[in-house]
Structure 1
Amino acid sequence: MNHDRAGGPTGILRFATAPGSSSFTEFLAAAAPELMPGKVPDGAVITHGTTIVSLIYADGVVMAGDRRATAGNLIAQRDIEKVFATDDYSLVGIAGAAGMAVEIVRLYIVELEHYEKIEGTQLTLDGKANRLATMIRGNLAEAMQGLAVVPLFAGYDPDATDPAEAAKIYSFDVTGGRYPEQYYHSIGSGSLFARGALKKLWRPGLDRAAAVRVAVESLYDAADDDSATGGPDITRGIYPVVRLATANGTERVGDDELAATVRAILDDRAARPGS
């Protein structure tokens, strides 16, 4: 085959071998635009991810997301994953149109890998946040049609001169606006309730166990008041996705640890009904 169009083998080879941007997103948009996250077919059922929380603790940053995806008033999925490790030191959580959001995150992961291979170094944490903002801005047309994707980005900067300033959290809006956050933040339909819980529970210098508990407890409070946010499901063994980013890299908290944390929260709440 010797196609000479942007999407054909010859066209892709021409773009791949020509000097240009270190952005894989720009390369893909030029070489094979049909592979970019795109419009959803008419009549398709749109599922939405809901609540993501993130907070800074003594060793880095923790991010957690509930597992429910909704389609209108229905539960579309009970065990969706909304929190991803995007490279060795950064995390992204997604809220909004779930299918579109997962596609953007996958493209973003490749974007970071591509940059590192082309430039021989990783982007700074601020640079990673800027790249994500650019990708969200590129989805603005779809957002205006109701396919909004709103991420939460957090990470650890191993090159920070002050370790106390190494962990950072960034929020975004649908236009690609990027906003550094202090201490903690939450996005999604249950974010109002989760942020209220974070405000009461967060304190400086939390250790790992305490930070994981604060994240899970804030999601529990969000699920208590927001029907689109799923609480921990002990019967099915479905717990929030909780990830950490520290100087040692990223880590996913295991379900055994989360099960113990959830049971401790439930025991405390049972002792204080109405809290």
Structure 2
Amino acid sequence: MSDDVRPTIGTGTEIDASAVTPEFGSPSQGGVDGDRKDLETGTTTVGLTTENGVVLAADRRASAGNLVASKNADKIIEVHSSAALTISGNVSAAQSLVNSLRAEVRLYETRRDAGMSLEALANLTSTLLRSGGFRIVQPVLGGVDDDGSHVYSIGPGGSVMEEAYAVSGSGSPFALGVLEGEYDAGMSVDEAEIIAARAVQSATERDTASGNGLSIATITGDGVAIDTHEHIESAL
């Protein structure tokens, strides 16, 4: 089979296999490195820093083309005792990325007998994405270490940017509008949870591929706590 022939399934009118693979959504629209046009489903994930910790939030819908494949997708995953990742993109690739990160973190900390910094974890994530072993995935990494609270926006091609707040997924333009207007570096973790929930709610009202409730994580020196809400309103 030549390299330009893409896998299809079915008979008669053949269907692009990528169109029915469950997705956590494509990266935010635009010329992001590694962007691919065949991933058009969406999601909304956000990350915010505060003085005392980090808040991550995401909707819970996974889609396969125009089908809602799951209403209970976990898009915030703990990868370290004080860090978690939000994921948008191909489901199997995202799961593989998380497994690789967890294994590499354990190996690093066993060899060095010391914790991995958030900067090192962000660079590790970038290296794995640049390796090309994962279909398009765009994580937002958040966590705390000895240097404070950190949120990193990591592009599908491996670019790394540390931000006060970050978004990913097709619903990100709507979520970003809320964060631009309401984010305050001096807010508490509790206040950040409400703003993160509002940001995801705004996206679900306009982005048809985002919805079905909310996952929200708080990350502090005490560790990672992830809660789910069937209805976003219960988190406001």
Deviation at 1:254, TM superposition (A): 5.9
Distance in 1 between residues matched to 2:61 and 2:136, nearest whole Å:
17
**Per-residue Cα deviation, 1:24-48 (whole angstroms, up to 9, x for no partner):** xxxxxxxxxxxxxxxx975443111
Q: Secondary structure at the match of 1:175?
A: coil
Query: 1:131/1:264 Cα in 2 relative to 1: closer, same or farther (>3 Å)?
Result: closer
State the partner residue of 2:36.
none
Work out which of the residue numbers 209, 227, 232 in structure 2 matches 1:253.
227
Deviation at 1:188, TM superposition (A): 0.5
Q: TM-score, normalised by structure 2?
A: 0.80
State the partner residue of 1:155.
143
Which one-letter code corresponds to 2:138 in the other structure? V
Structure number with bigger Rg: 1
Structure number with higher helix proportion: 1
In the TM superposition, 1:79-98 aligns within 5 A as 79-98=72-91
Bigger RCO (CA 8 Å, 6+ sep)? 2
Structure 2 unaligned blocks of 5 or more = 1-5, 10-16, 25-42
Distance in 2 between residues matched to 1:153 and 1:105, nearest whole Å:
11
Deviation at 1:241, TM superposition (A): 1.3
In the TM superposition, 1:44-59 aligns within 5 A as 44=17, 45-49=20-24, 50-59=43-52
State the partner residue of 2:199.
218
Quote the sequence identity (%). 30
**Per-residue Cα deviation, 1:120-147 (whole angstroms, up to 9, x for no partner):** 112221111100100011126x6xxxx3
Structure number with higher strand proportion: 2
Q: TM-score, normalised by structure 1?
A: 0.69
Work out which of the residue numbers 158, 164, 171 in structure 1 matches 2:153.
171
State the partner residue of 1:77.
70
Structure 1 unaligned blocks of 5 or more = 1-39, 161-165, 233-239, 266-275
Instruction: Give yes or no for the alignment of 1:190 onto 2:178.
Output: no
Instruction: Give yes or no for the alignment of 1:229 onto 2:222.
Output: no
Distance in 2 between residues matched to 1:73 and 1:248, nearest whole Å:
40
Instruction: Give yes or no for the alignment of 1:123 onto 2:116.
Output: yes
Distance in 1 between residues matched to 2:141 and 2:119, nearest whole Å:
10
Distance in 2 between residues matched to 1:115 and 1:207, nearest whole Å:
32
What CA RMSD, in Å, does the superposition of the two structures yield over aligned residues? Answer: 2.1
Which one-letter code corresponds to 2:181 in the other structure? K
